[in-house]
Structure 1
Amino acid sequence: MIHEYLEYPTKEQWIDIEEHSKINHLYLDIKRPEITDFFALFTEHELASWVRLFNNRLGQSRTSYIFFMHYYNKGIPDKEWYISPGKEGQSIQYFPHFTKDETINYKVMFDYYVDAFYYKFFSAWDTIFHIINIQYQFDIETSKDFNRKILTNLNSVNPVLKRQINKTNNSKAFKRSRVLRNDITHNFAPNDISSGISKKKENGKLKKISFGVGNYTPSNEFVENIDGIIEEFIKFLNVFKRSLEATEKKG
């Protein structure tokens, strides 16, 4: 049973994972201005609430990172996720290097916390646009295209920040993460082996069905992608922090 393999990282393991990553940089610490205007106090209070939520979501991302790396470090040998022929003569053998029940259960927990990381990390990313909305008092109502409207308005007051948002969002790591996250949420999860079945249609009619090994994204590729988006995000945070503090000094 999977509960037999559930573990909480020791203090030493937790610190080791932190020291071999950059997750402790996932935090926004801005210098707050001294407010003397009565009405500005309301804006300041609302902004502080959004910044707190932003840091809480990043904190939950850091925790998820610790846990998926904890299970990853235990060993998930899925870089070679199939061999053909198999060790016992099968046409295809999946996960040929998984030798114990604990290995597949480590992968199950790794996948769970990777999913949680993406969810919390991109929740934090969306929170950025709410912080900008409050900071510059755009007063844009939440809607499906909220982020786009924020960027449109931001261009006239802080084009540098807008360029950094676009640069981060269009980075190779972020683009890849969106594909992975979208497939995890809405399509066949890339951290599971697909059926390998493909169909070809002509004029709406099925003409051909083929069968292959399927598709799969090994665990190390998720780790590499997440480390990549953290790198990009840290660069963004430096610009974001300077922008907020500079704006506050002007106000």
Structure 2
Amino acid sequence: MLEQLTRPILAISNRKGGTGKTTTAVNLAAELAARQYRVLLVDTDSQGHCALGLGIRWRPGQPNLHDLFSDRPPSLQEVILKTATPGLDLVAANTRFEGLWGTEDTGILKRALEEAQDYDFILLDTPPSVDLVLINALTAASGVLIPAVPHHLGAEGVRQLTQLFYRVASRDNPGLKLLGIVPVMADPQVPGHREVVEELKKAFGPGRMLRGVRRDQRLAEAFAAGQPIRQYAGRSRGAMDYFMMTEQLLKI
């Protein structure tokens, strides 16, 4: 599925916070890199958690994603950081970013990423708030992956994101595709979780429900240690689930 996109730029997005977007972005990027793909992970969320999940300490004043939205933007190459994971580079976010003012240009990020011709995949970790940065990310993307915690607030975040998805697809990015929904922090033994997953299947079709990522404390530990789960605890449930989810995305 991923390789069939016209240009493999994948936005990982949900309108609700706390749905595992960054954990999914970091671990999917690491899984793709482990398969010998060149991967660029772009953090568009000013919380800046992708850098933390990869063991990078971003400091104020360092080149960052949000510099691309300034009056005198740097080249993309100037804001790319190497990570400890072979094949995986990062564009970090500015944790002091306070919003865009004086522009309504939805194509800034798309034009900047045209420089990234050396990468097989570009992953965009996106903010939950509807602002110009999120619109830029969806405009730049060729596909959207939606992590969702399987409870009713999580399902509402999916519905809100798909409304925005169709708005951007109809106005700014007609080639945008909805790749799928990934249940995260899921427990099939919890009746409420099963109900929400079934509800999402009915709403979006079973083909768009991807393999879920089970609740696993090792995922939080890996993030705190600044490592993808495949490096921190390669035999854990979380590592296996992200491995299988990546295989599913590549083979559907």
The two structures have a TM-score, normalised by structure 2, of 0.25
Bigger helix fraction: 1
Larger radius of gyration: 1
Which structure's relative contact order is higher, taking Cα pairs within 8 Å and 6+ residues apart? Answer: 2
